[in-house]
Amino acid sequence: MPLVFTVANPGKSPVTLYLMGRDPTADFQVTDDRGRKVWSRLSGQVGIAPLRLFPLEAGQRLSFRGVWNQRSDTGKPVPPGTYLIRAVLLTDEPGGLASPPARLRIERPSGR
């Protein structure tokens, strides 16, 4: 399942984002209907996360892409059910800058 997260500055003035990492980075996180973590794109990754000031000009956008193969962090196919997908821009704030959750209903296990 392709995932896309876009952060935009719709204002008329630039804003400065305080981002973690050399390049702007976003995580995609999936939870089940009880709020338990199922999958995270960055799960198990260790990285150096220096703070970086990132100017976002008026009208500028940052887009991030990822893919969820409907498997848990352990590699097992997830069962049918309702899942919430959230994108998180890694910032200096704990928890980052999170998108509103998108609801996804899986009717049958993926064959992958």
Q: Is the pLDDT of residue 111 over 70?
A: no
Please report which confidence band the pLDDT of residue 47 belongs to, taking 50, 70 and 90 as the band edges.
low
d(Cα 14, Cα 20) in Å, to the nearest integer? 19
Q: Is the pLDDT of residue 48 over 70?
A: no
* DSSP state, residue 106: E
Q: Is the pLDDT of residue 112 over 70?
A: no
Question: What value does the mean pLDDT take over residues 11-33?
Answer: 93
pLDDT at 108: 79
